[in-house]
Structure 1
Amino acid sequence: MSATPPDSAESALPHPVRLRTLIDEISQLTLHVQELSRMAEEARELYERGVLPAPPDPRELVDQVENYRQQLEAAIVHIFEQVFGPRTDTIERQMSMRLIAEIGPEAFVQKVLWGEEISDIALTIALERMIPSLEQLVERYPSAFLSQANSLLNQFKAG
């Protein structure tokens, strides 16, 4: 007889290979969102300087960025379900989803891993089981989650 009941939290842990696949998908979506955001900023600067004419409908690019963000959020929700189960009424899940909606998925991951405010620390403690997966995500795609550090490093390289 198994020491872990089939309905326990431990038996609900996802298979490591499936979780890695989900993390890879989130990483790819994050990179797409950041690339589109960078492109949108460059285009805005060119339009403002008059170098390029504005596109017929500039909302298309914004819609693309928003679409990728929604896909990334959906992937994070899926990881929540894999790690914590399908319940949406937990305080951890509700707090996380509200925060992702407010600040975006990239900033959410940064807050969980490196936040210094008391609310960030509480979030990190609540999501402790996700930390190894989030750390792997950052290690695999550091440019997606370390954009501020990369920006400073690029300034030093150029100077």
Structure 2
Amino acid sequence: MPQPMPLRALLAEISALTLHVQQLSRMAGEASALIENGQRPAPIPPENRHVTDQDAEAERQAQSAELEAAILRIFDETFGPRTDTLERQMSMSLIGEIGPAAFVQKVLWGEEISDIALTIALERMLPALERLVEVHPRAFLRQANSVLGRFKSN
């Protein structure tokens, strides 16, 4: 008996996410080896940085604005310049509510029925959103970076 398409799509997304985590793990190992060999300077630990809360907030706002502009470009490239489409209006409302990084996470990795429906509606955008994650991994994979850090320390 064939499985429903949404389940197949969900399984494909889980598989893709697993591959991304494996790639990130491999990259973290390579970066660690480079640092240990002295080929790259080690990153400055957060406690040694002199960044104020205002600096951090300004950086988050700038990054958020950059991500939102990138998402708008992706919409234009994928669906054309029309702003009155249901997909675009719903997406812009959601971006305003949860922010651009959380929006992309919801589209690419969301687990709720509404997330899956959003993913299906924006299916043509998925490759571009995946590239956006590759360009800005720190913005989208904060949780994954902390998990990978724990694996690395073990």
Q: Verify same fold: TM over 0.5.
A: yes
On the 8 A contact 2:83/2:89 being kept in 1, the answer is yes
The structure-2 alpha-carbon separation of the partners of 1:71 and 1:121, relative to structure 1 and needing over 3 Å to count, comes to: same
The structure-2 alpha-carbon separation of the partners of 1:61 and 1:134, relative to structure 1 and needing over 3 Å to count, comes to: closer
Q: 2:117 aligns with which of 122, 137, 141?
A: 122
Task: Tell whether 2:107 aligns with 1:112.
Answer: yes
Task: Tell whether 2:147 aligns with 1:149.
Answer: no
* Match of residue 36 from structure 1: none
The structure-2 alpha-carbon separation of the partners of 1:147 and 1:68, relative to structure 1 and needing over 3 Å to count, comes to: closer
Distance 2:136 2:70 in 1: 16
Cα deviation 1:34-59 (Å, max 9, x = unaligned): xxxxx9xx57xx8xxxxx7x96xx53
Q: 2:69 aligns with which of 51, 55, 74?
A: 74
On the 8 A contact 2:78/2:124 being kept in 1, the answer is yes
Instruction: State TM-score, norm by structure 1.
Output: 0.57
Distance 2:59 2:131 in 1: 27
CA shift for structure 1 position 102? 2.0
Report how many residues are paired.
109
CA shift for structure 1 position 63? 2.8
Q: Which amino acid aligns with 1:121?
A: I
* Match of residue 89 from structure 1: 84
Q: Structure 2 stretches of 5 or more lacking a match?
A: 1-43
Query: What is the root-mean-square deviation in Å for CA atoms of aligned residues?
Result: 2.8
Distance 2:150 2:119 in 1: 31
Identity of matched residues, %: 61
Instruction: State TM-score, norm by structure 2.
Output: 0.58
Q: Structure 1 stretches of 5 or more lacking a match?
A: 1-38, 47-51
CA shift for structure 1 position 137? 3.5
The structure-2 alpha-carbon separation of the partners of 1:63 and 1:146, relative to structure 1 and needing over 3 Å to count, comes to: closer
